[in-house]
Structure 1
Amino acid sequence: MSDPTVQRNKMRGLFSTVVVLLVALMMVTTDAGKNKKEKGKGAKGGPSDCAEWRYGNCVPNNGDCGVGVREGTCNEQTRKLKCKVPCNWKKEFGADCKYRFGSWGECDTASGTKNRSGTLKKALYNAECKPTISVSKPCPAKTKTKTKGKKGRGKEN
């Protein structure tokens, strides 16, 4: 059997090595975390010394709707944010203005349309939105009436 003092010294050496490795690992991961935060600072919308960002409209990559990019500026800084224009948006009041609408009104037989109004619920990205809007759509075609007779499957006697 080996001497207990030799075993104790070996354990202390092993323990010291493990502690040094843990401290080194903590330092490396802390530095990696700082670098990651600094990289995303300007592009992703992280903390900035600028207080009032101004954003433009969302510009779809293809066509009138879908995924696109919104550009923001503040002083001499710019950032680009991913955005999406819904394909059912109404161009009259924009995709960044969200409204709460009431029920559709009665059909106006003179114009063949029915109307409803909406009040501004939310303006995204400091968009300039009208406080109230009115929209219209064509009245439905003639209403179908159900027949009251029964449909039989065979000859009636």
Structure 2
Amino acid sequence: MAEVPSIEDLLTACQHSAVHLEMRDGYMLDDPMFLAWKAGDVEASGRAQSPWLTFMADTTNRGVQVRRARIVSEPVSEYIRFEYEITDRHNIAVGEHVRWLPRRRATDLALPGNDFWLFDGQLLLLNHFDGDGNFIDHELISEPGVIKLSATAFEAVWSRSTPHEEYQPA
């Protein structure tokens, strides 16, 4: 199996657009940032992400449009509430555009089986997680049919979803 480039390398090579579809209700529940948030330490919940946030700000500042869509169950899980509460100071602050789609409104959409990043509409990075939301690995796909399915799915979710500024989690 070929070595998969890092997300940072793929975003650095990206010239125009990166889209990210998230479809799980929890990720890495032992993440120190999430645990700090659960403990009420809002400041600590952001410190661990500083290098990533700087990198993302650099990416959007050079003109790459980054859009993130999250499909969520409602009422939202504790983890999704955490993501929602940090989105302004993390994702939005560094230039990402974020939207939310309640899972009930996604029933008639054809969606891929995995979360993904799509770079410039040409390279697809699948994110594989175990049943508890722990990251397993990435898989890089360049097959046109899979890319088309994923791009179409993302745009369908994006057009139906609510911008972060307007979304109120149930």
Pair in the same fold by TM > 0.5: no
TM-score (normalised: structure 2): 0.18
- Higher RCO, Cα 8 Å, sep 6+: 2
Q: Which has the higher helix share?
A: 2
Please state which structure has a larger fraction of its residues in strand.
1
